[in-house]
Amino acid sequence: MGGKTGTTNDYKNSAFIGYAPIWRDDGYDPTEALTVASYVGYDDNRSMSRGSTRLQGASGALPAWAGAIEAMAAMGLLGQPPADAKAAEDDDELVRVRVSEVNGLPLAPGAPADEGASVLVLAPADNPSRRFAPFGARAQAAEAPLEPPPLDLAQPLGEAAPVDTGGVEEPRLGTPPSVWDEIEDDEVNPPSPKPAEPPPTP
């Protein structure tokens, strides 16, 4: 199972969306799963923050999602795995890391077994199958690998190759005026009025 929480500004919306794999005769198939979303919030978009209580995705929508998944499992919608079913965490390709329950940092090797710790099950970072590629990119690369265009060694570096326009001369636009150019149009830039001279003193 996996999923992601979501919380909007001012704790107005709490959401969680996740998936639960379905057990088949040959085990859990991650490509065949139920996707379930849960939402908690007021109809008038009020904040769900009262005093020291702030309802977030993990504290609002996630418990509702977990309850829905448990109910689906009880109804048999997720299949009926045998008692000795191999969990996904038993996969030999996954890495197990003991982390402190206080600060979430990995524990030093040889730390006492009775020290408060949780075990995170992670995929190894150097596993190429875990790297993201745009949809269809791998299939496209397998069908026709992309190759760079041939390099014209006769063309000096830094100069653009001439473009064949078929004898049609491309229009050349003048340089647009910059902020430093003066526009000598009295209607656009009327001259500033001269200040009136003070009357002579008697």
- Measure the CA–CA gap between 73 and 57, rounded to whole angstroms: 22
Name the helix (H) or strand (E) containing 20. Answer: strand 13-24
* Residues 80 and 109 both lie in one domain: no
pLDDT, averaged across the chain:
71
Per-residue confidence (pLDDT) for residue 160, from 0 to 100 = 54
Domain encompassing residue 97? 87-138
* Residues 73 and 127 both lie in one domain: no
- Measure the CA–CA gap between 132 and 137, rounded to whole angstroms: 10
* Residues 92 and 66 both lie in one domain: no
Per-residue confidence (pLDDT) for residue 17, from 0 to 100 = 92
* Residues 69 and 53 both lie in one domain: yes
Q: What is the SS3 assignment for 58?
A: helix
* Residues 69 and 112 both lie in one domain: no
Domain count of the chain?
2
Out of 84, 102, 127, pick the residue that ends a domain: 84
| Residue 52 within any structural domain of the chain | yes
The dihedral sign for the CA sequence 131, 134, 136, 137: negative
- Measure the CA–CA gap between 137 and 143, rounded to whole angstroms: 10
pLDDT band at residue 75, thresholds of 50, 70 and 90?
Answer: confident
| Residue 64 within any structural domain of the chain | yes
* Residues 80 and 11 both lie in one domain: yes
pLDDT band at residue 16, thresholds of 50, 70 and 90?
Answer: very high
Name the helix (H) or strand (E) containing 23. Answer: strand 13-24
| Residue 186 within any structural domain of the chain | no
| Residue 124 within any structural domain of the chain | yes
| Residue 47 within any structural domain of the chain | yes
* Residues 1 and 79 both lie in one domain: yes
Buried b (16+ CB within 10 A) or exposed e, 35-61: ebebebbeeeeeebeeeeeebbbebbb
Q: Model pTM? A: 0.45
pLDDT at 148 over 70: no
Instruction: Compute the C-alpha angle 102/105/108, nearest 5°.
Output: 105
* Residues 63 and 108 both lie in one domain: no
* Residues 9 and 77 both lie in one domain: yes
Out of 41, 58, 84, pick the residue that ends a domain: 84
Tokens of 6: 């979501």
- Measure the CA–CA gap between 64 and 6, rounded to whole angstroms: 14
